[in-house]
Structure 1
Amino acid sequence: MRSIGRLGISSVLALCVAAGTAHAAPPAEQPAGPAGELYVPEVQADDVAVIDTATNTVKQRIPTGPATKPGVLAATPDGKKIYVDNFGFQPPSVTIIERPSNTTKSVPVQSPPLGIFTSNDGKEVYIPEVGFVIEVLDVATDTIVRRFPYPDLAAGRHPEIPAGAIQGPDGLLYVGFMQSGMIEAIDPISGKVVRPPLIVGGIGTFWYSFSKDGSKLYANSVNTISVIDLKDWRVTKLLHTSADGNYYPGNPGAFVSTLTPDGSKLYVTVFGGKDVIVIDTAKDEEIGRIPTSGASTAVMFSADGTRGYITDLGPSTNAYPGPILDPVLFLNLVTAGAGLGPGQVIVFDPRTDQVVGDPIPMKIGPGVPAWLPNMK
């Protein structure tokens, strides 16, 4: 046996303990973020998680009810109410979260919603649904006050499923259609068509964003992000989702887009692929990508623009590549969730597009979130 020599047994033991302690050291703390709350629907858990964005920790989960499958959130401008699009089929409903108590109530709707969007003034909520209808909910009473049917053959409308219903800066309600990929603009009170249907260059037009100055609309569809001149009502450019910016039939679908608070960049999530696409809105060119582990549902920002949050469905979604399997992934996500694993929220700095800290673990199916300041 070799002699330990001058170190001595006690010294060697101390070194071993120190080495073991070093290996067992806890992970570094998350960098501090802006004070506020990120509400994240977790589709397969039938709840909405509340993340404290100052510490990046989940502090509460709000149940939305059995088999509700919450997927998309829309908050009123005053931050007092959050409306939850429930993808569950039986019975179709919208859940309303009252802040700061985070108590809930449910409002029945005609058919499963495909999205949920607040009006510019926060007084109404627009709900496009699978059953060929847009329902309009009054925020003051939480009741349905109007319906716009599709089809409405008497008004010359063809059967279409409205997938998006987002109010533009001009006050018109822009409606995107699932099958054709067209967008039209209607009067949000009468439902009269003001801007005729426009072919945007793809199908499944579910989400779109308006430029900060109100001159452009960015429409997301399978394979393509379309840049639309609102004054002339025409497509001026197509941005493709492939890594090299070219069109290929196997390109993933553009899903949800979000502008930074200052309007300088547009972030686009994709289904049938990974990563978040970053677009310079002055040049309408891709300028980078933020890596994700799987398909991502949305990007949300804190009000001060210092933090961005990506809802990442996780690596199990990589089994659904390309546009043909996009709807298969979506249907699996909002029904059985077979084979899908947990997701995460990725925190990043929009000034540099660099990831900040470790991802926040989530349950299966983190959806479209809402960031809100704290309420007293």
Structure 2
Amino acid sequence: MKTNAMLGAALTAVALAAATLAEAGQVPGSLAAADIPVSHRDRVYSSDQFSNTVSIIDPAANRLVGVIRLGEPTPANFSPLYHGQLLVHGMGFSPDHRTLAIVSIGSNSVTFIDTQTNAVKHVTYVGRSPHEAFFTPDGKEVWVTVRGENYVDVLDGKSFEEKTRIVVPAGPGMQIFSPDGKYGYICSSFNPETDVVSVADHKVVARVTQASPFCPNIAATPDGRQVWFTLKDVGKTQVFDARPPFALLKTLDTGPITNHVNIVQNAHGMFAYVTVGGLNQIKVFRTDDFSQVATIAVGSLPHGIWPSGDGTRVYVGLENGDALTAIDTLTNQVVATVPVGQAPQAVAYVPDAVPDGDGTANTQPLGAAGEATHVMLIPVGGTAADHGAAPTSVALFDQGLLQVLQAAVTGLQAGQPYFLGLSDHADGSGRIDVLASFKANPAGSAIVNTLGQIRQVVVPGTPGVSDHRRYLVIAPSVGGAPGPAVQVQAL
């Protein structure tokens, strides 16, 4: 009798655990929503900033389906831009999983795409340099953070036309909503303030102080209890209570170029996954006690991140690696890496995005959108094995004869001015020709961009090129001119 009682209790516990997992909903939905197992009907999307594409992955096969081309590579964008989009960057999706909202920061637009057909349904033009867009949980509105101005543009969820604007401090970075649709949380990229807005009347009801002005990304937990946001300039992640009085709960030191954060609920509990671009890592934290439980090496400059519909996977965009990495959340191991377009930014996992067919309509092969060269800069006097001390990754994204150079620089003195340049010598000695000037942020890091025929002179053996070899270097600004190099190109 005692054995039967114990067996009954055990079976009850198993049943309760199974019931809990069956209703362990994922962001941006609520915890009460049912999990959706990974299938060939699901899609993972990345917004590819320098190829101006949206890459599409079948997560059940970890295979690139194709890309949606929204714009042309540079230098086509130097002429008047009457058609097409530039600097494809932000991404959101509708609650019914049938519409993507793609933000292009260079052409001030939100492109709405049908997930079944991959066709553009509508393009809405907004204010200067929008950053992110997301649907409210009821699908009735789309909020667009217009980072180059001081408002969130509220669009109708069906017509995609502007309804109203919510005035906030200059530089709104991103917004996300409480799972019940009551609040919108809007962090800032120019001011140290996150605003909490009532969705019903678009009124600011509370303000949360950020530890720094530059927040690029924000996420709400599916249980409606917490909001997490990242601070790229100081390498921190903060957490506040998602309910009144919206008290700050925790500040975590996550590392240089802290990019995005998202929430995963799985059999082990609820976790926040944070992409740390300057360390080429994902850091994983429990949401109950904020303890760090894993560090995952993923590749060059991890940026956007989103979980599968059942929380068993997260997908991470490698901005300087031209790929999406899939991570098993139960083991926190990388299980696949799939090539995508140039410099993936935001990532979205949309369950049941393609209910019928193969979902290849209106897509193109990756082609030139996947062409890039990668190099590393290391401290002067060091070796390639020392790159962990200053893991500066450089990607040269091919645009035909030109390349867009992007350097994820770390290991510098905070707040100091520097130059990225070319030297005739591998050790950085002698004259340095400046490609770009920049200032290291408070975490001693920076994202540096420039454009030119750079691969031809810094990569040996470039076909058809006989120019004199040059070397990428980073040097401090001394009296407005380059001083002795502090980082040089790894050979």
Bucket of the pairwise TM-score, normalised by the shorter protein = 0.5 to 0.7
* Inter-partner Cα distance in structure 1 for 2:101 and 2:201: 23
SS at match of 2:169: coil
Give me the TM-score of the superposition, normalised by structure 2: 0.51
Correspondence for 1:226: 283
Question: For the Cα contact (< 8 Å) 1:254–1:268, is it kept in 2?
Answer: yes
Q: State the one-letter code of the partner of 2:297.
A: H
Tell me by how many angstroms 1:35 deviates. 8.1
* Inter-partner Cα distance in structure 2 for 1:93 and 1:142: 11
Question: For the Cα contact (< 8 Å) 1:183–1:197, is it kept in 2?
Answer: yes
Correspondence for 2:114: 52
Alignment deviations for residues 215-253 of structure 1 (CA, whole Å, 9 cap, x no partner):
2211112222101123342112211232xxxxxxxxx32
Correspondence for 1:70: 130
In 2 relative to 1, CA 288–306 (structure 1 residues): closer, same or farther, beyond 3 Å? farther
In 2 relative to 1, CA 234–108 (structure 1 residues): closer, same or farther, beyond 3 Å? same
Tell me by how many angstroms 1:160 deviates. 5.6
Correspondence for 1:344: none
In 2 relative to 1, CA 326–175 (structure 1 residues): closer, same or farther, beyond 3 Å? same
Correspondence for 2:156: 98
* Inter-partner Cα distance in structure 2 for 1:39 and 1:237: 32
Match of 2:337 among 263, 281, 289: 289
Question: For the Cα contact (< 8 Å) 2:228–2:238, is it kept in 1?
Answer: yes
Question: For the Cα contact (< 8 Å) 1:272–1:318, is it kept in 2?
Answer: no
* Inter-partner Cα distance in structure 2 for 1:321 and 1:160: 22
In 2 relative to 1, CA 299–165 (structure 1 residues): closer, same or farther, beyond 3 Å? closer
* Inter-partner Cα distance in structure 2 for 1:80 and 1:255: 29
Q: How many residues align?
A: 278
Correspondence for 1:327: 447
Question: For the Cα contact (< 8 Å) 2:218–2:261, is it kept in 1?
Answer: no
Question: For the Cα contact (< 8 Å) 1:40–1:48, is it kept in 2?
Answer: yes
Structure 1 residues without counterparts, runs of 5 or longer? 1-29, 151-157, 243-251, 333-337, 340-376
In 2 relative to 1, CA 55–133 (structure 1 residues): closer, same or farther, beyond 3 Å? same
* Inter-partner Cα distance in structure 1 for 2:239 and 2:103: 29
Question: For the Cα contact (< 8 Å) 2:122–2:160, is it kept in 1?
Answer: no
* Inter-partner Cα distance in structure 1 for 2:180 and 2:257: 27
Question: For the Cα contact (< 8 Å) 2:113–2:119, is it kept in 1?
Answer: yes
Give me the TM-score of the superposition, normalised by structure 1: 0.66
Question: For the Cα contact (< 8 Å) 1:50–1:61, is it kept in 2?
Answer: yes
Match of 2:270 among 196, 215, 224: 215
In 2 relative to 1, CA 318–263 (structure 1 residues): closer, same or farther, beyond 3 Å? farther
* Inter-partner Cα distance in structure 1 for 2:336 and 2:197: 38
Question: For the Cα contact (< 8 Å) 1:160–1:178, is it kept in 2?
Answer: no
Q: State the one-letter code of the partner of 1:77.
A: P
In 2 relative to 1, CA 83–300 (structure 1 residues): closer, same or farther, beyond 3 Å? same
Query: Which structure 2 residues correspond to residues 161-180 of structure 1 after superposition, within 5 A?
Result: 161-170=214-223, 171-180=225-234
* Inter-partner Cα distance in structure 2 for 1:282 and 1:112: 37
Question: For the Cα contact (< 8 Å) 1:261–1:305, is it kept in 2?
Answer: no
* Inter-partner Cα distance in structure 2 for 1:204 and 1:46: 25
* Inter-partner Cα distance in structure 2 for 1:236 and 1:264: 16
In 2 relative to 1, CA 172–266 (structure 1 residues): closer, same or farther, beyond 3 Å? same
Structure 2 residues without counterparts, runs of 5 or longer? 1-65, 68-95, 371-396, 411-444, 453-491
* Inter-partner Cα distance in structure 2 for 1:318 and 1:260: 32
Query: Which structure 2 residues correspond to residues 1-376 of structure 1 after superposition, within 5 A?
Result: 36-65=98-127, 68-88=128-148, 91-104=149-162, 105-129=164-188, 130-150=190-210, 159=212, 161-170=214-223, 171-188=225-242, 189-194=244-249, 196-200=250-254, 202-213=255-266, 214-222=269-277, 223-242=280-299, 252-304=300-352, 306=354, 315=397, 316=399, 319-323=405-409, 327-329=447-449
* Inter-partner Cα distance in structure 2 for 1:173 and 1:56: 32
* Inter-partner Cα distance in structure 1 for 2:328 and 2:446: 26
SS at match of 1:215: strand
Question: For the Cα contact (< 8 Å) 1:273–1:322, is it kept in 2?
Answer: no
* Inter-partner Cα distance in structure 2 for 1:182 and 1:279: 23
In 2 relative to 1, CA 101–277 (structure 1 residues): closer, same or farther, beyond 3 Å? same
Question: For the Cα contact (< 8 Å) 1:161–1:178, is it kept in 2?
Answer: yes
* Inter-partner Cα distance in structure 2 for 1:269 and 1:326: 18
Tell me by how many angstroms 1:163 deviates. 4.1
Q: State the one-letter code of the partner of 1:94.
A: V
